[in-house]
Amino acid sequence: MSEYVKSLMTEVKAKNPSQPEFHQAVEEVVESLESVLDKHPEYRAAKILERIIEPERVIMFRVPWVNDQGEVQVNRGFRIEMNSAIGPYKGGLRFHPSVNLGILKFLAFEQVFKNSLTTLPMGGGKGGSDFDPKGKSDAEVMRFCQSFMSELFRHIGPNTDVPAGDIGVGGREIGFLFGQYKKLRNEFSGILTGKGLNWGGSLIRPEATGYGAVYFAAEMLATRNDSLEGKTCLVSGSGNVAQYTVEKLLDLGAKVTTLSDSSGYIYDEEGIDREKLAFVMELKNVRRGRIKEYAEKYLNAVYTPVDASSDHNSLWDHKADCAFPSATQNEINEKDAQNLLNNGVFVISEGANMPTTLEGVNLFLDKGILYGPAKAANAGGVAVSGLEMAQNSMRYGWTREEVDNRLQLIMKSIHTTCVTTAEKYGTPGNYVNGANIGGFIKVADSMLDQGIV
Ligand code: NDP
């Protein structure tokens, strides 16, 4: 670590105490950007990096609601409006008990670079609440969403800030949030993405993050004249991103052997075929059950519960070629990374945000495997959100093929940006540097153009 990175990180840690995920995200980016700052003293003079690290605005609010037993509940709501240099703030809402300011700041920070890479005009933001939708009735989720939007509506708008879904926020939640916004504003406008098809949503938006992560892996493999056909893949999570990652992997002839949730994971040596995937989708999206039930239905599969005392996650300790972490941050630590390498994994495409610790990332980079970091690999979701905004502005909807083609073109373009930028800055094959630098330059130049604001 250079003196510059060291002193910047000391300042970031002092100013943002108890936000380890935010420190981690900043450190990874700052390390990548050193060579850019050396080449462009104007960025340093205008304190571009110091300004990008500081959110333009943080909104924190009380979300009171009443449960089915008539008891008053109080949660905390957040919206981080991180950077609007290249477009309205854009990024998802996460409802999960682990949500806090530091986690949302890391996600909003990552989003700035990711959105820039998509080539679409979107700034970066993120929000959410420590509300846990698990085990809540639909009526409770609706009352919570209505209370959350009763404050958030003041801060968002189609040209200001356009949230979307993330962990714990899917079609059901977006519907309740949209309904409340429309009632409060008396206005039907595209203030959220991930909407239902009947009321302004885009085809392929639910599939986009998972499909995009697979398209990105295919692009990386193509650089070595290889493809996903016949590859064995480990996938974590079993939510939106994981489900559509599996679907696209099956389309491209790969075999998937794992899925997980926060209670444990299943290993199915025979592979998760389309029928089994349909079971998972019904289990998770309709019945809202646990992945353990997969092993109760398909007896050849083995279920392993989470072992909180273990220093690694055995999901990552199976023979495979590719891994698609699609659950949550820091789900691959250094030991997991070593296990993946020992098991022959040479392609990693991150569907989740920051799923690998810094030590794990360094191990992948040292080994020179095809490692696609989240900012690049999972940008398909926000890219199709951008396409949903474009369709809303036109009051017109594209076909499935049209949106899917655009998604593929965008993932190709992100891949090219990563490869050419990594090469230009002297680290060929390093997708982390490629993504961080490629995303940064467009935002930095826009900030220079717009003065000290
Ligand atoms: P979902 O809520 O649909 O699914 C999340 C999955 O991850 C569930 O299986 C969940 O299990 C599991 N999970 C969540 N938290 C933890 C945890 N702390 N430990 C272990 N497992 C956990 O969310 P998404 O699929 O939308 O999001 C998954 C990841 O992808 C996140 O990192 C998100 O930020 C990222 N992402 C999502 C995008 C999108 O378009 N949806 C876009 C870009 C990135 P359980 O049900 O038990 O909680």
Q: Which residues line ligand 1 (CB under 6 A)?
A: 96, 98, 165-168, 170, 209, 237-242, 261-263, 326-328, 351-353, 378, 381
Rounded mean pLDDT, 374-403: 98
In this structure, the residue with its CA closest to atom 17 of ligand 1 is 262
Q: How many domains does the chain have?
A: 2
pLDDT beyond 90 at 220? yes
pLDDT of residue 4: 84
Residue 238 lies in a domain: yes
Looking at the fold, whether 183 and 212 belong to one and the same domain comes out as: no
Looking at the fold, whether 151 and 275 belong to one and the same domain comes out as: no
**Closest alpha carbon to 375 in 285, 438, 331, 419:** 438
Looking at the fold, whether 150 and 226 belong to one and the same domain comes out as: no
**Closest alpha carbon to 131 in 161, 163, 93, 80:** 93
pLDDT of residue 54: 98
Q: What percent of the chain has pLDDT over 90?
A: 98
**What one-character DSSP code corresponds to residue 262?**
T
DSSP letters along 151-210, please?
HHTTT-BTTTEEEE-BTTB-HHHHHHHHHHHHHHHT-----SSS--GGGT--TTHHHHHH
pLDDT beyond 80 at 262? yes
Of 329, 346, 368, the residue at which a domain comes to its end is 368
239's tokens: 């939510």
Residue 158 lies in a domain: yes
pLDDT in tens, 331-387: 999 999 999 999 999 999 999 999 999 999 999 999 999 999 999 999 999 999 999
Phi-psi region of 194 (alpha: psi -120 to 50; beta: other; left: phi over 0): left
Name the E strands within 326-366: 347-349
pLDDT of residue 5: 84
pLDDT of residue 2: 81
Rounded mean pLDDT, 164-187: 98
Is 327 exposed, middle or buried (CB count within 10 Å of its CB: 0-12, 13-18, 19+)? buried
Pocket-testing residue among 162, 207, 262, ligand 1, by greatest number of atoms within 8 A of Cβ: 262
Looking at the fold, whether 121 and 232 belong to one and the same domain comes out as: no
Report the separation in Å between the CA atom of 258 and the middle of ligand 1, taken as the mean of its atom positions: 15
> Which ligand 1 atom sits closest to the C-alpha of 385?
40
SS3 88: coil
Looking at the fold, whether 125 and 47 belong to one and the same domain comes out as: yes
Residue 427 lies in a domain: no
Rounded mean pLDDT, 248-266: 98
Report the separation in Å between the CA atom of 363 and the middle of ligand 1, taken as the mean of its atom positions: 24
pLDDT of residue 14: 98
**Closest alpha carbon to 243 in 285, 271, 202, 196:** 285
pLDDT of residue 1: 75
> Which ligand 1 atom sits closest to the C-alpha of 351?
30
| 281: Cβ contacts below 8 Å, ≥ 6 apart | 243
Secondary structure percentages of the chain, helix, strand, coil, to 5:
50, 15, 35
In this structure, the residue with its CA closest to atom 31 of ligand 1 is 352
Question: The whole model's pTM is what?
Answer: 0.98
pLDDT in tens, 81-140: 999 999 999 999 999 999 999 999 999 999 999 999 999 999 999 999 999 999 999 999
The one-letter code for the residue type at 101 is L
Rounded mean pLDDT, 286-293: 97
CATH code where residue 57 lies = 3.40.50.10860
pLDDT of residue 3: 87
Of 320, 345, 368, the residue at which a domain comes to its end is 368
Q: Which domain holds residue 8?
A: 3-187
Looking at the fold, whether 47 and 117 belong to one and the same domain comes out as: yes
Which residues are catalytically annotated? 126
Looking at the fold, whether 158 and 82 belong to one and the same domain comes out as: yes
Looking at the fold, whether 145 and 251 belong to one and the same domain comes out as: no
